[in-house]
A and B are shown apart, each in its own frame.
Chain A
Amino acid sequence: MIPFDYQRAAAPADAVAAVAGRPGAAFLGGGTNLVDHMKLGVAGPDLVVDVSELPLNHVLETDTGALRIGATVRNSDLAAHPLVRRRYPALCRALLSGASGQLRNAATTAGNLLQRTRCPYFQDTSTPCNKREPGTGCSAIGGHTREQAILGASAHCIAVHPSDMAVAMLALDASVGVLGPYGERTLPLDALHRLPGDAPEQDTVLRHGELITDVELPARRFAARSTYRKVRDRASYAFALVSVAAALDLDDGVVRDARVALGGVAHAPWRATRAEEVLRGAVASEGTFRQAADAELTAARPYGGNAYKVPMVRNTLVAVLRGLTAERPDRPYPGWHGPGLEEESG
């Protein structure tokens, strides 16, 4: 570990000023990802500005009925929040399927959005990686590709974004409040994360010194009929092989509106707009669901070891949609045995 300076910010503007003023500075939230990177030599900030104690630990209902989530709200607190549990089941399930209990207690909302890929080559400084060291090459291409992207990858990077929470938020039309050296701005969540293109070192569109202050979930009819399904190698503490967040507004068997987002498939949480187009206005049926999945997957480009993700996404998406349109939308699919809301539904 390389020696570094540490300060704790009292106000968001102080934190922004401190980081903006030093090119090598980094924000520290829950520390569940950055500290690992510092130990591994993946990151070497010369200044760490601790934002975990900023007064951004709120979950509020706005006058438009939206939910505003402060950047420092811990993942476990957010998952347990009554409004989240009642109105945004997809988000609750996504949070509870992430990491482990201990990590969820530490991880923050903004930090979860900004966590970096777990591509093993990115995390190992002895192997080339364009994301870690631009221009050195992508070790994953031609290497171990089992967990890598099938959508939106480039010749420079095929890594996937690891977050569960972000996938659910994407399906819930979330937006992100940002404070920077030159003021505030609001981004739709689907504009936050980038595809790798020729600059995979940039995970997001945020500029140095910009701080996420909150996430807003608007009131939408489809939010209540939403869920998240994570497919994983083991029942806990494993990143998604693929995941599906879906939200439906149903009217007498017809899909009035739909949101579908995928995890584990791309450099960013993946908004499945092609699937949504098929669903919107269609009769909710097995055939529609398959058609939606196939529409989204026509763009899939597997890299050898991850070809299984295509049928896995298809099956999972169809199963999730089937579950959401079943009699009991609170049970996302029959035999469901993941973390959930059954025991306390309100």
Chain B
Amino acid sequence: MTTGARSRAVGTPVARVEGHAKVTGTARYAYEQPAGAGPPLYAHPVLSTVPHGRVRALETMAARTLDGVVTVLTPDNAGQLDDLRGAQDGELAVLQSNEVAFRGQFIAVVVAESPEAAQQAAGLVEADYDELPHHTELRGDSGDLYTPERVNPAFAPDTVEGDVDGALDSAEHMVDVTYLTPMEHNNPMEPHAAVALWEAEGGPADRPIPAGSDAERPSSDGVATVRLTLYASTQGAHTVRSTLAPLFGLRKEEMRVVSPHVGGGFGSKGMPHAHDVLAVLCARAVPGRAVKLALTRQQTFSLAGHRTPTLQRLRLAADSTGRMAAVAHEVTEHTSTVKEFAEQTACGTRMMYAAPNRRTAHRLAALNVPVPSWMRAPGEAPGIFALETAMDELASACELDPIELRLRNDPPLDPESGKPWSGRRLVECLRQGARRFGWQEGPPGSRRRREGDQLVGMGVAASTYPCYTSPGSRALVRHDGTEHYTVRIGAADIGTGTWTTLTQIAADALDRPVEAVTVEIGDTDLPHATVAGGSSGMASWGPTIVATARRFRTEHGQQPAAGAVMTGELPDNPDAEQFALHSFGAQFAEVRVDVDTGEVRVTRMLGVFSAGRIINPRTARSQFIGGMTMGLSMALHEHGVLDHRTGHVVNHDLASYHIAAHADIADVEAEWLEETDPHANTMGSRGIGEIGIVGAPAAVVNAVYDATGIRGRSLPLTPDKLVR
């Protein structure tokens, strides 16, 4: 595949097209959307306070009789959902039974005329439980660990290549260490919110709560009797619709999902969660009136997905010159009992270094915990943390500079597939970063210096993320007249810059200035687009637009009639089968550790990335440094503390679940290699949403070792772990 679109807008720092609307408060987020004729109603959920059991009785009378309360939904009256895809998606089986699988699960919801009344009434609902024994603690020696059939999204759980044990036994240098990462929570700034409006034609009672299957419903008469509108905060409007419509027995034409602006997702809005279902259940109970639901920050800790804690055993073997003979990466992590999510933690290790003998394995414990899900760079973020920290430990064992160790083990072909790389430029990233950062060569610990009561050190780590493309996106190009074009695609902008970057791509593909192109996204009334996940958004939507614009020109020429329209879809990329498509990066950190208190401050970070062509350096820089900042938080701050007696995350707010504050971020810089990946897609670019977080935690933790001689093997590296 070759680069097609003539580059004019692409590669320039175009300011966000929706920026003015956002900073002036006129860009509407989900909860702010007006819907329905009258004033909206407000939903406030009731959450289980036990981690496992069954609701024996729900006392709702006090709530029902409170002023302003319209209804209280429980499993007795919420109405059935259709097609729960067997037991696959128990997360979405909201109010379908009295079973409690984790603490913080929906057991009821109040709908009221005001949010205050809804909240107060929710507090008046009393539940009695038959409790069952619960297990929330992830343990490596637990007897009921199992091997999942696949890990996210569809990888084999285990791989073996060569004689790993033999290589480990006979190696000159060996590292055998276990790393722990805690439960982590996405916490986008905009809460998980939805506004749902259920309208039934021919009167509100025309369509009673459906109980039957889709087959019983009229589907070919062309008469839509229900119109469900859901304003959602999501990374994929079409995904929400395709998941939820069948649950409610609706044909897709009967449901519209609107999501023009999203205040961050980090994966937690990548697929619909239970609150989306709950909002629609409420709306179905009060047809004709919009129902607003926003999870509180506390509620998101059990209802919006999270990153599993991990136990990771890493064994690396090398010869006397530091050439790796073996790598083994064995992961233990958790999932819920209602839905399996198996984070692909060890997958990055399969392709990263040239060790001929490799083994990876994933084991799961199904616990009474909330449903884990995607969180920025699922798999790579925790897995590469462990691998890259282990590499630093191997560099210590070999008494080698950690960059030199990586140079000696850079594989010419993808070790996993044997295919050539579409562009593995990790070595250049490391070298350029070392130069720019002022890296002093030497093994870990050799850069240590003391300034007053602080120990200063530097760390480095490699970074990688696959280049995914999701099939199925479609776009529409329309000539509005007077040389202005509208491009429609149901893509998502979760703060990443999609509104702007797709405008740039469309402008170049149509050979028009950006001012002459209006892009419309975030609505299922627009052509189908895949989810903003796996860093695949731009790499999927962009080529779809390029292909559609080409078809438009082929059909309508350079002087199209006003109103001329063309649709198109994501073309196949034959190169994807021929090449190993991955992005790479080198991350550097300098830390200062207080000798008295163990406080760590990161004074400098630098990331150098190879991610193909950068569409917009301004929004790209934000993505990179945002990811690096999140990686710093993962290294030093983030820790969801699960109380194993109660099964809840104790520190479920942003005062106690720490992420880096502004004062923690001193000097974070990102740069990238000027390049085009001719095999990735027609734009030559790979996604960048996730690679910034990958490797950053290891760089920080390795810098702490360089400064202090203390190996941080359990994240986060808070002062209590370093004070002596």
Check A318 against B601 for contact (C-beta < 8 Å): no
Asked if B515 is an interface residue, CB under 8 A from chain A, the answer is no
Binary CB contact string for chain A from 216 to 240 against chain B (1 if under 8 A, 0 otherwise): 0000000000000001111111110
Check A233 against B643 for contact (C-beta < 8 Å): no
Binary CB contact string for chain A from 101 to 133 against chain B (1 if under 8 A, 0 otherwise): 000000000000000001011011111000000
Binary CB contact string for chain B from 585 to 599 against chain A (1 if under 8 A, 0 otherwise): 000000010011111
Smallest beta-carbon distance A140→chain B, Å:
9
Check B645 against A235 for contact (C-beta < 8 Å): no
Asked if B156 is an interface residue, CB under 8 A from chain A, the answer is no
What's the Cα separation between A315 and B120 when bound, in Å? 47
What's the Cα separation between A123 and B652 when bound, in Å? 10
Check B655 against A237 for contact (C-beta < 8 Å): yes
B652 to chain A: which residues have CB within 8 Å?
120, 124
Asked if B154 is an interface residue, CB under 8 A from chain A, the answer is no
Asked if B225 is an interface residue, CB under 8 A from chain A, the answer is no
Given known A1-B120, A231-B719, contact A311–B724 (CB-CB < 8 A) = yes
Choice from A142, A144, A235 contacting B601 with Cβ under 8 Å: A235
Nearest residue in A to B596 (C-beta to C-beta)? A315
Asked if B650 is an interface residue, CB under 8 A from chain A, the answer is yes
B452 to chain A: which residues have CB within 8 Å?
333-335
Nearest residue in A to B723 (C-beta to C-beta)? A312
Asked if A146 is an interface residue, CB under 8 A from chain B, the answer is yes
B718 to chain A: which residues have CB within 8 Å?
233
Check A1 against B116 for contact (C-beta < 8 Å): yes
Check B453 against A333 for contact (C-beta < 8 Å): yes
Given known A1-B116, A312-B597, A312-B723, contact A236–B662 (CB-CB < 8 A) = yes
Check B596 against A308 for contact (C-beta < 8 Å): no
A155 to chain B: which residues have CB within 8 Å?
none
Asked if B495 is an interface residue, CB under 8 A from chain A, the answer is no
Which one of A3, A233, A311, A318 has the greatest number of beta carbons of chain B within 10 Å?
A: A233
Name the interface residues of B480-506: CB closer than 8 Å to any CB of A: none
Check A121 against B650 for contact (C-beta < 8 Å): yes
Binary CB contact string for chain B from 446 to 459 against chain A (1 if under 8 A, 0 otherwise): 00000111100000
Check A319 against B663 for contact (C-beta < 8 Å): no
B49 to chain A: which residues have CB within 8 Å?
126
Binary CB contact string for chain B from 647 to 670 against chain A (1 if under 8 A, 0 otherwise): 010111101101011111000000
Given known A120-B651, A232-B599, contact A127–B662 (CB-CB < 8 A) = no
Asked if A241 is an interface residue, CB under 8 A from chain B, the answer is yes
Asked if B119 is an interface residue, CB under 8 A from chain A, the answer is yes
Binary CB contact string for chain A from 310 to 346 against chain B (1 if under 8 A, 0 otherwise): 0110011011000000000000011101000000000
Asked if A41 is an interface residue, CB under 8 A from chain B, the answer is yes
Choice from A235, A308, A334 contacting B453 with Cβ under 8 Å: A334
Asked if B637 is an interface residue, CB under 8 A from chain A, the answer is yes
Smallest beta-carbon distance A245→chain B, Å:
15
Check A312 against B598 for contact (C-beta < 8 Å): yes
Binary CB contact string for chain B from 291 to 333 against chain A (1 if under 8 A, 0 otherwise): 0000000100000000000000000000000000000000000
A121 to chain B: which residues have CB within 8 Å?
650
Choice from B298, B646, B658 contacting A234 with Cβ under 8 Å: B658
Smallest beta-carbon distance B359→chain A, Å:
35
Smallest beta-carbon distance B592→chain A, Å:
8
Check A143 against B720 for contact (C-beta < 8 Å): no
B663 to chain A: which residues have CB within 8 Å?
234-236
Judged by DSSP, the binding face of B is loop
Check B664 against A335 for contact (C-beta < 8 Å): no
Check A120 against B656 for contact (C-beta < 8 Å): yes
Nearest residue in B to A1 (C-beta to C-beta)? B116
Check A234 against B656 for contact (C-beta < 8 Å): no
Check B454 against A235 for contact (C-beta < 8 Å): no
What's the Cα separation between A318 and B595 when bound, in Å? 12
Name the interface residues of A142-161: CB closer than 8 Å to any CB of B: 142-144, 146
Asked if B200 is an interface residue, CB under 8 A from chain A, the answer is no
Nearest residue in B to A140 (C-beta to C-beta)? B650
Check B453 against A143 for contact (C-beta < 8 Å): no
Name the interface residues of B222-254: CB closer than 8 Å to any CB of A: none
Number of interface residues of B (CB under 8 A): 42
Name the interface residues of A17-50: CB closer than 8 Å to any CB of B: 41
Nearest residue in A to B122 (C-beta to C-beta)? A41
Asked if B4 is an interface residue, CB under 8 A from chain A, the answer is no
Given known A333-B452, A333-B453, contact A308–B720 (CB-CB < 8 A) = yes
Choice from A118, A234, A319 contacting B664 with Cβ under 8 Å: A234
B263 to chain A: which residues have CB within 8 Å?
none
Nearest residue in A to B657 (C-beta to C-beta)? A120
Check B720 against A316 for contact (C-beta < 8 Å): no
Asked if B400 is an interface residue, CB under 8 A from chain A, the answer is no
A334 to chain B: which residues have CB within 8 Å?
451-453
Nearest residue in A to B720 (C-beta to C-beta)? A308
Asked if B641 is an interface residue, CB under 8 A from chain A, the answer is yes
Nearest residue in A to B119 (C-beta to C-beta)? A1
Asked if B411 is an interface residue, CB under 8 A from chain A, the answer is no
Check A120 against B650 for contact (C-beta < 8 Å): yes
A3 to chain B: which residues have CB within 8 Å?
116, 120
Check B597 against A316 for contact (C-beta < 8 Å): yes
Binary CB contact string for chain B from 558 to 582 against chain A (1 if under 8 A, 0 otherwise): 0000000000000000000000000
A238 to chain B: which residues have CB within 8 Å?
658, 661
Check A241 against B655 for contact (C-beta < 8 Å): no
What's the Cα separation between A319 and B454 when bound, in Å? 12
Binary CB contact string for chain A from 229 to 269 against chain B (1 if under 8 A, 0 otherwise): 00111111111010000000000000000000000000000
Asked if B123 is an interface residue, CB under 8 A from chain A, the answer is yes
Check B454 against A335 for contact (C-beta < 8 Å): yes
B648 to chain A: which residues have CB within 8 Å?
124, 126-127
B595 to chain A: which residues have CB within 8 Å?
315
B646 to chain A: which residues have CB within 8 Å?
127, 139, 143
Check B454 against A236 for contact (C-beta < 8 Å): no
What's the Cα separation between A233 and B656 when bound, in Å? 10
Given known A120-B656, A127-B646, contact A233–B637 (CB-CB < 8 A) = yes
Smallest beta-carbon distance B210→chain A, Å:
34
What's the Cα separation between A97 and B123 when bound, in Å? 36
B724 to chain A: which residues have CB within 8 Å?
311
Smallest beta-carbon distance B46→chain A, Å:
11
Given known A121-B650, A233-B718, contact A41–B123 (CB-CB < 8 A) = yes
Check A236 against B651 for contact (C-beta < 8 Å): no
Binary CB contact string for chain B from 624 to 652 against chain A (1 if under 8 A, 0 otherwise): 00000000000011000101011010111
What's the Cα separation between A21 and B322 when bound, in Å? 78
Which one of A123, A234, A333, A337 has the greatest number of beta carbons of chain B within 10 Å?
A: A234
Given known A232-B599, A233-B658, A235-B664, contact A312–B719 (CB-CB < 8 A) = yes
Smallest beta-carbon distance B657→chain A, Å:
10
Smallest beta-carbon distance A342→chain B, Å:
15
What's the Cα separation between A233 and B655 when bound, in Å? 11
Binary CB contact string for chain B from 691 to 724 against chain A (1 if under 8 A, 0 otherwise): 0000000000000000000000000001111011
A127 to chain B: which residues have CB within 8 Å?
646, 648
Check A233 against B453 for contact (C-beta < 8 Å): no
Choice from A118, A142, A335 contacting B645 with Cβ under 8 Å: A142
B655 to chain A: which residues have CB within 8 Å?
118, 237, 239
Check A316 against B596 for contact (C-beta < 8 Å): yes
Choice from A120, A124, A234 contacting B660 with Cβ under 8 Å: A234
Check B650 against A144 for contact (C-beta < 8 Å): yes
6 contacting pairs across A/B (C-beta < 8 A): A2-B120, A3-B116, A144-B643, A234-B661, A239-B655, A315-B595
* Sample of 19 further A-B pairs with CB below 8 A, known A232-B599, A335-B454: A1-B119, A120-B650, A126-B49, A142-B645, A143-B650, A144-B641, A146-B720, A231-B599, A232-B719, A233-B719, A234-B636, A234-B661, A237-B655, A238-B658, A241-B720, A311-B723, A315-B596, A333-B453, A337-B601
- On A, residues with C-beta under 8 Å from B are 1-3, 41, 100, 118, 120-121, 123-127, 139, 142-144, 146, 231-239, 241, 308-309, 311-312, 315-316, 318-319, 333-335, 337
Q: Closest 10 interchain pairs by CB?
A: A334-B452, A335-B452, A235-B663, A308-B720, A236-B663, A315-B596, A236-B661, A319-B596, A231-B597, A126-B49
